Each structure stands twice: as C-alpha cells, then as structure tokens.
Copies of this chain bind each other. A is one copy, B any other.
Amino acid sequence: MTIRTLVKNLAAAPDGPVSVSGWVETVRDQKKVQFVVLRDESGAVQLVHPRTDTEEGSQPDATAATISALTTGSFLTVAGELKHDERVKLGGLEVKIGELEVAATALDLPIAEDSSVDKRLDYRWIDLRRPEMNLLFRVQTTFLHALRNWWVEHDFIEIQTPKLMSSPSESRAELFQVPYFETTAYLAQSPQHFKQMAQAAGFGGVFEVGPAFRADPSFTSRHATEFVSVDAEMSWVDSHEDVMAMHEQLLVAGFTAIKQKHGDEIEALFGLEVTVPTTPFPRIPLAEAKSIVAERGYEIPRADADMDPEGERRISEYVKEQYGHEFVFLTDYATSIRPYYHMRHGDDPGLTNSYDLVFNGVEISTGAQREHRIDVLVEQAKDKGLNPDEIGVYLDFFRYGVPPHGGFGMGLSRVIMLLLHQPSIREVTYLFRGPNRLEP
C-alpha cells in the first residue's frame, strides 16, 4: 500500500519527503510557479511546482504540462518535499511536487457550492466532498460509536432485526409491499415488533441501528421514505421514566464524544458550539406543554390532543428560555394519539407511559413503556380498531412470558440535522430517499 500521509498529519511531520493523495480542489497555473490545492478526507494542502521550462531554450517540463491539464476533482498522488513555511496561508506548509501521478481525471464538475439542493443531491458523491459534509459524517460516526459504547458497557445486546416482515409493524398506512415468492412481504416501518421480541427472549437490554421504511408521500424537511432508526429496548422498567433516563445518558455520551473529538472543527466549519446537555433533561407533560404554548400565544390548530411542528418549536423556545436546555421530554401523551402497544396509566387510562423527545424545536424520538400484559394488550388493540388476528404473530410474543419493558426509536438524521443546524435531512442523509428521489 502506498504509504501516504493524511493531510491532517502533515503539520506534525518533519520537513522532508512525503506522499499525499487526494483530489484537486483548485489549480493556480502561473507563469513561473504552479499551485495545486489538494484535499483528502482529513484536510487540504498546497502543492507547489516551480516551472523548469520558463527560460528560453529550456527542456519541456512534463510535470508542468500535467498540472496545467489537471481538472478540478481529479484524484492524484504526489510524492514530494514537505516544507513548513509560515507564509503559506493554508496550514503554514506546502509540498513541493516531485512525482505526480493522476489516478483518475474528472470531467467538468456539474455542481458548485451554490447549486440547488436537488442538483447537489443528483451528484451527491461530489457534494459529499465538501469539508462540512465530510465532517458531518465523521460526527455521525462518533455519535453512533459513543452510543454503542454506552450500550456495550451496560451489557446490552446488539440485534439486527429483519426488514422483511409478514405483517406491518406500525400501521397499514405508508407501507411498502414486496412480492415475496408465493406471498407478500412488508418492509419494516420500525424494529418495534422484533425488539420487543428480544424482551420475551430474555435478552434484557437490546439496541439496533438500521434502516426503516415509510411509504410517506410527504415532502417536508423532516421526512424520508427510508431512514436510519436508532432503537433500544430494555427489560424490567417501572415506567417510561426509566427509558428517558437511559435515553438522556446516551445523548450525553454521544454529545460528549462529539464535542471532544470534533468540537473545534464544528466551530470552524459550522460556526457552532456543541453543548453537552445536562441531566435530567426537562420533562413536561404534553397537556401542560400545550397550555404553555397557548399562553404564549399559539393555539395548536389540531382537533386531536397532539402537538404540531410549530408547537414543538415554541415549547423548545420556552424550555431554552426557562432552563437553558436544548432538549425537552414531552411526556404522558394521550391514549388517543398513541399506538395500542403503549402502556396506559394505571390511574388514568386516557394517558400513556410515553414521551416524545424534542431537540432544538423538532421531535427526534418517541419512547414508551410497552403494555406487556397480553389480555390488556389485546383489549387495547381492539380499542384502536385492530383485529388481533392480524397482529397474531406479535401478540404471540406475550403469551409465553415477557418482562415489563420499554424503549425508544430515534431518527439518526434528525439528531445530526438539529445538532449542526442543517436545513433538511436531505442534506445530512448519506443518500436521501423520497417519493421523487431514488437516485443515485
């Protein structure tokens, strides 16, 4: 393997021979000297080539010709001499080109920073070369790794639940159907059924990071037809309070790791300071949150008991003012707006042991204690107009013993979008999928 030095490691390297590889960001082709800014996954460096063909009668300079022909985006490897030089704006160093090998020549790039989102998504792989995008996916990597570290330290088991199911996991709406040999399969809308199955299997705590699918025709900045769902479920909870306690510890672990590893870069590229949230996160029962929002002048225009996106923004604003916190758990959702499998309050069947987590004004997660008592669960399903036979496989999980349990599902892209103040999940998903977008 070519022993290449990552650009970020040049600063600490001594003057002398190095090899760097990356793509061409800019070329300045001057009369006497040529400059190439080369970027790799870790940063950018200036390469320099003093032309040797400037004197009358001098030999042709093959390297200079190659550099003159370089197109933006082409990938190349340069072996040369590193020299630290404070006068060089870009990192205080440059590499004098010795050998230059072009690995692949780029056609004229079809997008620029100011291209429309749609155009940029058409050429997502070029869009992803932007330092902000590279950093964003590093941040996401660090976030997920910190979550998994937390789970592994707490003896949770990782599961990979199937995405092909015989029955819908959430609802009959927004369901992708797949012809499956002699029958029909459904794409999992969430790992809900199967992470609960792990509870009946005596796994204790489980986690999964995987795709989920919704045939959702909407075009908002928060929705996709395929998204990465971060899920956890744990046994022997007393209420949703235990789930929230896990949830906030995870986010603290994730944000701490992000701040440590990428805080400076995030400040430089996004102009943002990462705040590690303090625990406990504020908790507000949903009904109270709605009153607060109403008192502050916004009547939520919904017939049901739910919040709406504007309400979430406003309660978030309130929490920020009141508690200086970016997160808020909205708790105790009305039974009428929650699925049948959420446990209801013992003393008020109109409320559930559930919550939504709002981060910087947008819901990122739903959690709950689940109803584990099979007779109650069947009644609640009927209550919601479901035929228990249609969810027979799921109900069977509860017939042979199951501990009390609860968990949450969280949209990965939403967390990253809100953390980095991005306008849409389209910009933070590796490859966005929407009703009109299946490519690349």
- Give the B-binding residues of A (Cβ under 8 A): 1-2, 4, 6, 21-24, 39-42, 71, 73-75, 77, 103-107, 109-110, 123-126, 128-129, 133-134, 137-138, 140-142, 144-145, 148, 152, 155-166, 176-181, 183, 185, 187, 194, 197-198, 200-204, 209-211, 213, 215, 217, 225-226, 228, 235-238, 241-242, 245, 372-374, 393-394, 396-404, 412, 430-431, 433, 435-436, 438-440
7 A-B pairs with least C-beta separation: A106-B401, A128-B201, A41-B204, A73-B401, A1-B242, A141-B158, A166-B438
- Which residues of chain B are near A200, meaning CB under 8 Å? 125-126
Q: Are A2 and B236 in contact (CB under 8 A)?
A: yes
Q: Are B398 and A202 in contact (CB under 8 A)?
A: no
- Which residues of chain B are near A165, meaning CB under 8 Å? 438
**A74 to B, closest residue via Cβ:** B401
**A403 to B, closest residue via Cβ:** B75
Q: Are A103 and B162 in contact (CB under 8 A)?
A: no
A25 to chain B, nearest CB (A): 10
Knowing A73-B401, A137-B157, A176-B180, say if A103 contacts B152 (CB, 8 Å).
no
- Which residues of chain B are near A109, meaning CB under 8 Å? 400
Q: Are A160 and B203 in contact (CB under 8 A)?
A: no
Q: How far, in whole Å, are A167 and B152 apart by their CA atoms in the complex?
A: 37
Q: How far, in whole Å, are A439 and B436 apart by their CA atoms in the complex?
A: 32
Q: Are A103 and B403 in contact (CB under 8 A)?
A: yes
Q: Are A399 and B145 in contact (CB under 8 A)?
A: no
- Which residues of chain B are near A159, meaning CB under 8 Å? 137, 430
A113 to chain B, nearest CB (A): 15
Beyond the given A1-B241, A22-B202, could you list 18 further A-B residue pairs with CB under 8 A, ordered by the A residue number?
A: A1-B236, A1-B237, A1-B238, A41-B235, A75-B401, A107-B399, A110-B400, A125-B201, A126-B400, A129-B201, A133-B201, A137-B203, A162-B211, A166-B440, A176-B178, A180-B438, A181-B436, A396-B440
Knowing A21-B235, A75-B401, A210-B211, say if A197 contacts B145 (CB, 8 Å).
no
**A183 to B, closest residue via Cβ:** B438
- Which residues of chain B are near A236, meaning CB under 8 Å? 1-2, 4, 21, 77
Q: Are B23 and A104 in contact (CB under 8 A)?
A: no
- Which residues of chain B are near A133, meaning CB under 8 Å? 201
A213 to chain B, nearest CB (A): 7
Q: How far, in whole Å, are A124 and B398 apart by their CA atoms in the complex?
A: 13
- Which residues of chain B are near A198, meaning CB under 8 Å? 125, 128
Q: Are A177 and B176 in contact (CB under 8 A)?
A: no
A143 to chain B, nearest CB (A): 9
* A128 touches which of B126, B202, B225 (Cβ 8 Å): B202
- Which residues of chain B are near A138, meaning CB under 8 Å? 157
